[in-house]
A and B are shown apart, each in its own frame.
Chain A
């Protein structure tokens, strides 16, 4: 297994457009997290899934954001009507819930630029 992958790596869009990002976790990992990292800041938690169930959403996740994890495998994060403030790196991480160490493995991220 090659780790967590994210697609695309970079996305440039115009304000008001919709964008969708994909995350493929490490196989067998039943937890999947999304974080957002703005320039010069640490990552901030957005949401997480256990299998296909979305268990928590941060207040950072406005109504324009939606995340899914159909079948408990890959996940998508969609942003509707993008705003310049959505420009950030979107990071995905996965873990195994039974792992007492709960190590989260991060993907390379998708960098979004909203013009």
Chain B
């Protein structure tokens, strides 16, 4: 069964500083990987996804993520954080087609942005 680990529960970053959120996955085949963001009282919004090809994926809101198969990682980065980036971030892996592509999420990383 697939699993996702987000080692950092909370991260505090100053506005304008860079941000990196870690994600490690366990999956037997080529993974379909996702990063979602959840603001208070809101649903999940997709930031970016990886299926194949270029291992550096660009997403919305200036985010990017890099897939590293050798490390089973899919870390999310942003060069310069804005106050509006304060939210909870979830990494997820999709089960294959035969399993309905259901998502397995990590526990999330809450990002706090200091002025």
Residues of chain A at the chain B interface (Cβ within 8 Å):
4, 31, 33, 35, 40-45, 48, 50, 55-56, 91, 93, 95, 100-109
Task: Give the most central of B42, B92, B100: most A CB within 10 Å.
Answer: B100
Q: Chain B, 30-58, contact with A by CB distance < 8 Å: what is the 0/1 string? A: 00100010000111111001010000000
Q: Are A102 and B32 in contact (CB under 8 A)?
A: yes
Q: Are B106 and A48 in contact (CB under 8 A)?
A: no
Known: A42-B90, A43-B90. Contact between A103 and B46, CB under 8 A?
Answer: yes
- The minimal Cβ–Cβ distance linking B23 to chain A, given in whole angstroms, is 11
Complex CA gap A42/B24 in Å reads 14
Q: Are A42 and B108 in contact (CB under 8 A)?
A: yes
| List of A residues within 8 angstroms of B45 by Cβ | 106
Question: Nearest residue in A to B104 (C-beta to C-beta)?
Answer: A45
| List of B residues within 8 angstroms of A44 by Cβ | 105
Complex CA gap A4/B65 in Å reads 26
Q: Are B100 and A55 in contact (CB under 8 A)?
A: yes
| List of B residues within 8 angstroms of A31 by Cβ | 100-101
| List of B residues within 8 angstroms of A100 by Cβ | 51
Question: Nearest residue in A to B97 (C-beta to C-beta)?
Answer: A102
Q: Are A107 and B103 in contact (CB under 8 A)?
A: no
Q: Are A101 and B51 in contact (CB under 8 A)?
A: yes
Known: A101-B51, A102-B94, A103-B49. Contact between A45 and B102, CB under 8 A?
Answer: yes
Question: Nearest residue in B to A45 (C-beta to C-beta)?
Answer: B102
Complex CA gap A49/B51 in Å reads 23
